[in-house]
Amino acid sequence: MGVTARKEHQGSLTYRDLWCAPEDGNRYEIMEGEVYVTPPPSVTHQRVSGNLGRILMNHVVAHDLGIVLLAPVGVVLEKLSGVQPDIIFVARRRLSIVQEKAVFGAPDLVAEVLSSSTAARDRGVKKDLYARSRVQHYWLLDPRKQTLQAFRLQRDAYTRAAERTGKAIFRPPLFPGLVIRLADVWA
């Protein structure tokens, strides 16, 4: 799946091609048959993703709600689309979509941490793909602006359910009883 192969096969790749990606430290995703390559994430990106992931994992495990997985984890949404979100949650009643090689189906929640190399994609093609694939909850975290935007699927599109900034508190309806202190996410 080198540069030459990418150009020759653009538009014809499937999620199966993800398992042929080189082990070069980059993140490879296929959306609508096209490959997207992202360089390794920054330390800030990893810290924010890890902090939120830990908060969610602790709550989900304590209440036996399902499973939280952090990147890199493959999520196959359709034949021509396999992605690696930063954080996903799959509810206990839907754990059958979690298989050894990847998650085959829409997680209940996808959270993406924005970076300069991924922000447009996370707000554009990925957001559209997640909505089309019926991901019910989509969160975007911007470490630079210290902003969390939570979206909820309504019919076929996302509507903004909440936006919190700085050190605000976020109580996601998806996780009753969970209080997320954004200061802990950005820490």
Q: List, for residues 148-179, the tens digit of each pLDDT value.
A: 999 999 999 999 999 999 999 999 999 999 99
Q: How far apart are CA 94 and CA 108, in angstroms?
A: 9
Is 33 inside a domain boundary? Answer: no
Q: How many domains does the chain have?
A: 1
Q: What is the model's pLDDT at position 9?
A: 43
Strand partners of residue 152: 137, 159
Question: Which residues of the chain are modeled with pLDDT < 50?
Answer: 1-11
Is 178 inside a domain boundary? Answer: yes
| pTM of full prediction above 0.85 | yes
Is 2 inside a domain boundary? Answer: no
Q: What is the model's pLDDT at position 5?
A: 29
Is 101 inside a domain boundary? Answer: yes
Q: What is the model's pLDDT at position 21?
A: 87
Give the pLDDT confidence of 42-58 residue by residue, as tens digits.
999 999 999 999 999 99
Is 13 inside a domain boundary? Answer: no
CATH code: domain of residue 104: 3.90.1570.10
Is 65 inside a domain boundary? Answer: yes
Q: In which domain, by residue range, is 168 found?
A: 42-186
Q: How many degrees, rounded to 5, is the angle at CA 104 between CA 92 and CA 123?
A: 95
Is 163 inside a domain boundary? Answer: yes
Q: What is the model's pLDDT at position 39?
A: 86
Q: What is the model's pLDDT at position 26?
A: 85
Q: What is the CB neighbour count within 10 angstroms for residue 163?
A: 13
